[in-house]
Chain A
Amino acid sequence: MEAVREEQRFRREQADFDALFRAHYPEIVRYLTARLGSRETAADLASDVFVEAFRRVPLLRWRGKPVLAWLYRVAANMAADELKRRGREVPVEQPEPPVEATADPTETFPEREALAAALGGLSADHQLVVHLRLVEGYSFAETARLMGRSVGACQMLLLRAGRQLREELEKEGIRAGV
């Protein structure tokens, strides 16, 4: 019965692009912001994701996964391309840091920035599981469906993501986990 309802929802989202957009655009922007570290680029790329969706979603076939899983897959691929592209770019100018700007070892980034940076440093899978389960609040079962993995695998991913985050934050002098 649940599967039938899921398929009906899939069909509705296929047929109503506006509703699909309104329902999921904000979370795709949030996901891409965490991955790319730029709110502006994230909004730009999220638009690209939905332009693709406008063309492709009506042609998708029901395979037991919600349209949202497709949106996240496309967003993840586009983010990976964007990061790859950035990696290939050589800055035109690389100004020397002024001597006075040498970091004070006692100074730390504001905690929120450090948290965002640590999140951005996670692998794509770790970022996605944190995003789905904790940022968007999907259950582990829903997270597993969206990621195309088992619940157990998602729990393990989250454990590893948590450890890595703690390690990164501790490097920034933030005592994490308290």
Chain B
Amino acid sequence: MPASERDLARALAAVLDGAQPAVGEAGALAAVLSRAAESARIDVPHTEVESALARALRPEPTRAGKRRVRVGIVLAGAAAAAVAAVVLVVVAPFSRAPGLDVAARAAEALGPANTVLAVTERVRPAEEGAFEESARIGWLDLSEGRAHWTLQAGGRRVAETLVEPAEVRHFLPQQNVLIEASTCAAFAAGCTDLVDPIAFYREALAAADGVAVTETVVDGRRAYRLVLPVQSLPDAARIEQVAYIDAETYVPIRFVWRDVPDEGAPRPFAIIDVVSMRAVPRDEVPAGAFELDVPSDVEVVERTEAGEVTGVREVTLEEARQIEPRLLWLGPEYEGRPLELIEEIELDGGTAYRLRYDDLTVWNYTTAVPPDIAARRNGPTKIVPLESGGVARFYGDPGGRAIGEVEGPDRSAAIVAPDLEKVDIFRALDLLAPLE
């Protein structure tokens, strides 16, 4: 910007402030602005103010309210239409040939690779009471790297995520916070939200190797049961997915997520019923399908990609109590694990804190995610609502460890505990409290 522009802007300001005579260009512009402003100086009578106040205190459904549910309405419409759409799926002849044949037909039932999917799922705990049941409504456009998910629980929206190639946005309605970043690397869970059960299922079907198929019955329907490993490297797979597909249509009807311990049998964690799934031709995808709908007054938090660790120092409990925003912790002891160490980790993009409870670690971070808990890029994420509000995300780190994360406007926290199963990590996440 040339210096003369700044000078002219200052001169105009001085004329408008009455500190300088209205001459030259500054004077001319001041006159234009003043005349335009005069035209906008309309009277709002006292009586109008009072009647508007009376209306505002007994609000009716507002335009603002309507706009917030727009995506929900669009998606609910898609879900209703899905019942009809399912019957349009090509019904493949019944085949008893297990393995590749079933996998191939199941893949075919999902439509071409560039199909956009409108999906409604019901997510419930395998172990009663482990977490609140929720509905996941969304759009998946895997060939374009886009996904839009709305998670609802108890009749309210608890989280909404939009992933696009150059932007990732998480909206947390309970906190009215929108967390944004230009790259997946800025989020602990990375872009693993893209890996919905159905998306992962499609990917696994495409690979087709090692998909074990058996016949079974689900809710009185003949079905195939496919066990899909999360990773192609068996030694790194800690979570696996069991898919149930309709034996007539080959459309998925249920997924079960299971923890796979180093020793012992897999333990089911979450059951995802596919309420509806519709393949939508690209030119028929509704305009709002990949738009995030947030309130006008949402608080926006920008996340940056975590860089290298530049320093680590020990922090006393007393010092930790003074840290703002407050650290989240599990108290001085958690289920027999005493708090042993608090460390401040300096990162290129911000500061994180590590609280060590024996084999369990609680991470606190704000603008940048510590590299230690950044997700592997192709793993799945499970999102479940917390009783205390907000949602927990579960994903795997590069070493295959399960990590639970809660996001917030001031602090996000993650729990890593190699010896705990997801159910236990989930309980611990719900117990996190400010360190005061």
Shortest distance between the CB of A42 and any CB in chain B (Å): 9
Shortest distance between the CB of B148 and any CB in chain A (Å): 19
CB contact under 8 A between A163 and B37, given known A21-B53, A155-B12: no
- Chain B, interface SS category: helix
Q: Are A56 and B10 in contact (CB under 8 A)?
A: no
Question: In this assembly, does A145 line the interface, its C-beta being within 8 Å of a C-beta of chain B?
Answer: no
Considering the complex, which residues of chain B in the window 14-54 have a beta carbon less than 8 Å from any beta carbon of chain A? 16-17, 27-42, 44, 48-49, 52-53
Question: In this assembly, does B219 line the interface, its C-beta being within 8 Å of a C-beta of chain A?
Answer: no
Question: In this assembly, does A22 line the interface, its C-beta being within 8 Å of a C-beta of chain B?
Answer: yes
User: Mask for A8-23, Cβ within 8 A of B = 1, else 0?
Assistant: 0000000001100110
Given the complex, which residues of A lie within 8 Å of B297, measured CB to CB? 52, 56, 70, 73-74, 77
Q: Are B44 and A30 in contact (CB under 8 A)?
A: yes
CA A74 to CA B294, docked complex, whole Å? 12
Question: In this assembly, does A83 line the interface, its C-beta being within 8 Å of a C-beta of chain B?
Answer: no
Q: Are A159 and B29 in contact (CB under 8 A)?
A: yes
Q: Are B52 and A25 in contact (CB under 8 A)?
A: yes
Given the complex, which residues of B lie within 8 Å of A30, measured CB to CB? 40-42, 44
Q: Are B37 and A152 in contact (CB under 8 A)?
A: no
CB contact under 8 A between A178 and B49, given known A30-B42, A51-B56, A116-B39: no
Shortest distance between the CB of B270 and any CB in chain A (Å): 32
Interface size class of B (residues with CB under 8 A): 35 or more
Considering the complex, which residues of chain B in the window 50-75 have a beta carbon less than 8 Å from any beta carbon of chain A? 52-53, 55-57, 59, 62-64, 67
Chain A: which residue is nearest B12 at the CB level?
A159
Given the complex, which residues of A lie within 8 Å of B48, measured CB to CB? 43
Given the complex, which residues of A lie within 8 Å of B30, measured CB to CB? 162
Question: In this assembly, does B87 line the interface, its C-beta being within 8 Å of a C-beta of chain A?
Answer: no
Shortest distance between the CB of B389 and any CB in chain A (Å): 13
User: Mask for A38-78, Cβ within 8 A of B = 1, else 0?
Assistant: 01000111111011101010010000000000100110011
Question: In this assembly, does A147 line the interface, its C-beta being within 8 Å of a C-beta of chain B?
Answer: no
CB contact under 8 A between A47 and B32, given known A33-B42, A135-B37, A156-B1: no
Given the complex, which residues of A lie within 8 Å of B55, measured CB to CB? 47
Q: Are A54 and B6 in contact (CB under 8 A)?
A: no
Shortest distance between the CB of A54 and any CB in chain B (Å): 6
CA A135 to CA B36, docked complex, whole Å? 9
B9 CB contact (under 8 Å) in A34, A50, A156: A156
Chain B: which residue is nearest A78 at the CB level?
B296
Considering the complex, which residues of chain B in the window 334-349 have a beta carbon less than 8 Å from any beta carbon of chain A? none
B296 CB contact (under 8 Å) in A21, A73, A112, A152: A73
A43 CB contact (under 8 Å) in B27, B34, B36, B52: B52
CA A56 to CA B275, docked complex, whole Å? 35
Shortest distance between the CB of A61 and any CB in chain B (Å): 9
Q: Are B64 and A52 in contact (CB under 8 A)?
A: yes
Q: Are B44 and A166 in contact (CB under 8 A)?
A: no
Q: Are B53 and A165 in contact (CB under 8 A)?
A: no
Q: Are A18 and B32 in contact (CB under 8 A)?
A: no
Q: Are B9 and A159 in contact (CB under 8 A)?
A: yes
B residues whose Cβ falls under 8 Å from a Cβ of A: 1, 5-6, 8-10, 12-13, 16-17, 27-42, 44, 48-49, 52-53, 55-57, 59, 62-64, 67, 176, 295-297
A residues whose Cβ falls under 8 Å from a Cβ of B: 17-18, 21-22, 25-26, 29-30, 33-34, 39, 43-48, 50-52, 54, 56, 59, 70, 73-74, 77-78, 81-82, 111-112, 115-116, 118-119, 130-131, 133-135, 139-140, 152, 155-156, 158-159, 161-163, 165-166, 169, 176-178
Could you pull out 20 A-B pairs where Cβ atoms are within 8 angstroms? A21-B52, A25-B49, A29-B42, A30-B40, A43-B48, A43-B52, A48-B62, A50-B53, A52-B62, A52-B64, A52-B296, A54-B56, A54-B59, A56-B297, A131-B37, A152-B6, A155-B9, A155-B10, A156-B1, A176-B31
Extra A-B contacts (19), CB below 8 Å, given A26-B49, A43-B48, A48-B63? A34-B40, A44-B63, A47-B62, A51-B59, A51-B64, A74-B297, A78-B64, A81-B67, A130-B33, A130-B40, A155-B9, A155-B10, A162-B30, A166-B28, A176-B31, A176-B32, A177-B27, A177-B32, A178-B31
Closest 4 pairs (CB-CB, A-B):
A177-B28, A134-B37, A162-B29, A26-B44
